[in-house]
Every structure is written in C-alpha cells, then in structure tokens.
Amino acid sequence: MIEAVGLTKRYGDKTAVYNLSFQVRPGAVTGFLGPNGSGKSTTMRMILGLDNPTAGTVTIGGHPYRRLPNAPRQVGALLDAKAVHGGRSARNHLLSLAQLSGIPARRVDEVLGVVGLQDVAKKRSKGFSLGMGQRLGIAAALLGDPQVLLFDEPVNGLDPEGILWVRNLMKALAAEGRTVFVSSHLMSEMALTADHLIVIGRGQLLADMSITDFISANSADFARVRTPDSDPQLREKLSSALTEAGGRVLPEQDGALRIMGLPLPRISDIAHDAGVRLWELSPHQASLEEAYMRMTQGAVDYRSTIDQKSGLQQPLPPGAQPPMPVPGQGQPGWYAPPPPQAGGQPPTVPQGPYGAPAGASPAGPAAGQPNPYAQAPAAPQQPAAPAPAAPPAGGAPAPAPQTAPQPAAEPKSEDAR
C-alpha cells in the first residue's frame, strides 16, 4: 500500500502539491487524475524518493521508498518512457537495470515477451516509436516483479491495440493482488481500467473514491427531451413549462433539451399538459469525463484563450436557467450541470480515509501552514514556462527514471506472470 500523509512540495514560490493525504490499496487499479500541472508527476516522484517533500510523508508498505530493502524488487514505475539511453538495445537497457538490482537476466527475456518487444529486443531504442518506448518503459517497471507499480501516462502514444493491452495488463496486475497506481488524462480509458480514483487539482485532493461514487457524486442524472424539429415553438413552450415546474433546462448541442430536477414521468405529464409532442424522452447519467470536468474546472491552470473568451456554453433557450456555480468547484459548463439538489448545493460525498471529505472539498490546511491556494484567483492563470524536471533528490542512489521500485511488507511471488 502507498500512503501519503500531509504531502506538500514547494519549488520556490510555487506550491506543486499541498497537504495531500491518500492511500493506494493493493488489489485494485487506482487512477490518478488531475489537470495539467496539478501535481501528479511531483507526487509520483515523491513516492519514489526522487523528490523530497517540503512537508508530510509518503510511504510504501510502511517505509519511505529510500528505506525499502531491495526497492527495485518492491516497486516498479514508468515515469518517463524517453529516459532511456538511445544507443542501447532494448535488451541491453533492461539488462543493465537488472544487473543494478540483482535481477536475473532470464527475467529480462520474460518481460520483453510480456510487453511484446521480443522481436526488436536487439534494436537500439532510439529507433523506437513512442508506443514501443512506452512498452520498454513498462517492461522496465515489471522487471523486479514488484508488488507496487506506478505508471505515469502509460498509454501515451499507444495505438488502440496497445491501449487495450495496457488496460488488461493493469487489471491483471491488480487481480494478482498488486498495488497499481496509474495517472492518465484519458477519462474514457480510466473509466474502463480503474476501480478507484484519486483526483487532485492545484496540488490538493479533490476526490478519493470509487469510480461509481465519483460519477454519482459529481454528475447529475438528467433527462433528454426532444420535440419535433419542425416546430421550434414547441421546444420553447416545453422549456418554459418545465422551468415553471422547477426543472433546470439546458440546451444540448443537437437541439434536444437537458432537464434536471424533474423525474421522467413528471416531464411527460408536463409536456402532455402543455400540448407538446415529444420525439425523445430518455434517462441519462453523465460520463466519467463530464463528472471529471465538473469537478476539476475550478482547478484548471491552463486554458485556451478561445475557451476563456467564448467558453463552451451555448446560448440558453428562452426560459432556460444557466447552471448554478458550485462552491469551490468553479462555474459549471453546459456539459456539467450541478446535481439536482435544492439550491444547487454539491452532493454529500463519502469521507476520505482521514475523515476529511473525500469529494468536493480539499483537505484542510496543514497544521500551522497557510493554505497557499486560499487566495488563488478563480480566473485561469497565465501559462508558465514548462517546469524543468526535478533532479533526483539528495545523494541517495535514485532509481532509473522510468524504473522505480516496489514495497517490503507485502509478499510477492517471483515471476508470477
């Protein structure tokens, strides 16, 4: 298990991670989500002992990474697939990593087979495609047959077959009882792969819950209603009637209406009473992507000037009400309506492992430390220059950038796959 408690990282004035507490448990794939620059890679580097926390702790199997005995056999990681000596063959790259960690050479051939690179094992990695590089990075992570695995954007550059392979691999690793922690920007992929989600925004915890809970806590059930295209007045009439009855009405891109706050039978009755024929009346639940967008839109650092100026919103139809802002979560867009609760309040969310709300609100400030985000402007910030990669911390032998280690407290079977 990975456990972070009050984890904070500052780079000069920049607070990359603030008071982050979470657990990543074995036997499940835990997705790690957050907008660009929200602190995912920094968190992973701290887990792997590549960066020192400014405050707080993070342990693997109860030990800081650097104190794990034979760490490369306890924890494996893919952080940067490009961090490979391009002049070396895939096999030699893995062999050198194996030698450093006392892993037998036969394991190199095994993992090359697992990731499907056996036929190009003797080719120099500088000729590898992005997808091949990702596979080589995954092979390096698997080398020590670790119980704990961290993957930073593992499906980057992979084709659909490769993405499916990674998905099945993650699930299989978790099914073997391993701890699998994976960051990704692909929500649809996370919805298919992860059992549990940890979501951060501007370095702070936004959610720590199962995918199912995350979607229901951050999205609203809604109905789609479509009136005959030939008569736009019917749409307006229905929109007014539904609004009058207490529903929230938003336009869909295809001309339908999205209705929140009214059950389907009631919508049907209202339409009937108003003399409006319906071509569609269907129940819906927002996708993980919509739920994620809704949760994180207040914590996005980098936003297109086009989005800033015109937004994604469409003009509302007559009688329709704009979505209400949710405290601490920014202004919802048309695709991310507030939950259908009185006053547009955010839903009750499950408690996190430390008693703090694991859902919409960030964890409280660390004792004695001011919250650096307390005064953060709601408006998007100016894009900053890309951050330089953090150097390995201190003088301790750092793991190879893409190959980090695995935890001591959990038993593991050698060559289990």
User: What residue ranges bind ligand ATP (CB under 6 A)?
Assistant: 11, 14, 16, 34, 36-42, 384, 387-388, 390
Q: Do 270 and 242 meet the contact criterion of CB atoms below 8 Å apart?
A: yes
Helix or strand (DSSP H, E) at 24: strand 14-24
The Cα 254–Cα 117 span in angstroms is 45
Q: How far is the CB of 51 from ligand ATP (least distance, A)?
A: 8
Name beta bridge partners: 15. Answer: 10
User: Residue 247 or 372: which CB sits closer to ligand ATP?
Assistant: 372
Alpha-carbon span 271 to 278, nearest angstrom: 8
**Nearer of residues 16 and 141 to ligand ATP, judged by Cβ:** 16
**Running DSSP on this structure, what letter comes out for residue 413?**
-
CB of 185 to ligand ATP, least distance (A): 7
In the complex, minimum distance from the CB of residue 39 to ligand ATP, in angstroms, rounded to a whole number: 4
Angle at which helices 105-114 and 90-101 cross, to 10°: 130
Instruction: Give the C-alpha separation, 210 to 219, whole Å.
Output: 14
| Closer CB to ligand ATP, 10 or 124, in the complex | 10
Residue 181, judged by CB atoms within 10 A of its CB (0-12, 13-18, 19+), counts as: buried
Closer to ligand ATP by Cβ: residue 145 or 152? 152
* Closer CB to ligand ATP, 38 or 101, in the complex: 38
State the nearest-atom distance from the C-beta of 413 to ligand ATP, in Å: 32
Which residue lies nearer to ligand ATP by CB, 37 or 399? 37
Minimum CB distance to ligand ATP, residue 19 (Å): 15
State how far the Cα of 356 lies from the Cα of 207, in Å rounded to an integer. 10
For residues 271-286, b (16+ Cβ closer than 10 Å) or e, as one string? beeeebeeeebeeeeb
CB 34, min distance to ligand ATP, A: 5
Measured from the CB of residue 373, what is the shortest distance to ligand ATP in angstroms? 12
Nearer to ligand ATP, 101 or 204 (CB): 204
Q: What angle do CA 186, 149, 177 make, to 5 degrees?
A: 105
Q: Which residues, including other chains, have CB under 8 Å from residue 406's CB and lie 6 or more apart? A: 60, 68, 71, 72, 73, 74, 75, 76, 144, 146, 147, 148, 149, 412
Amino acid identity of 273?
D
Least distance between ligand ATP and beta carbon 349 (Å): 22
Question: Which residues touch 11 (CB under 8 Å, ≥6 apart)?
Answer: 387, 390
DSSP 154: T
Closest CA to 198 of 39, 8, 31, 28: 31
Residue 10 CB, nearest approach to ligand ATP (Å): 9
Nearer to ligand ATP, 81 or 267 (CB): 81
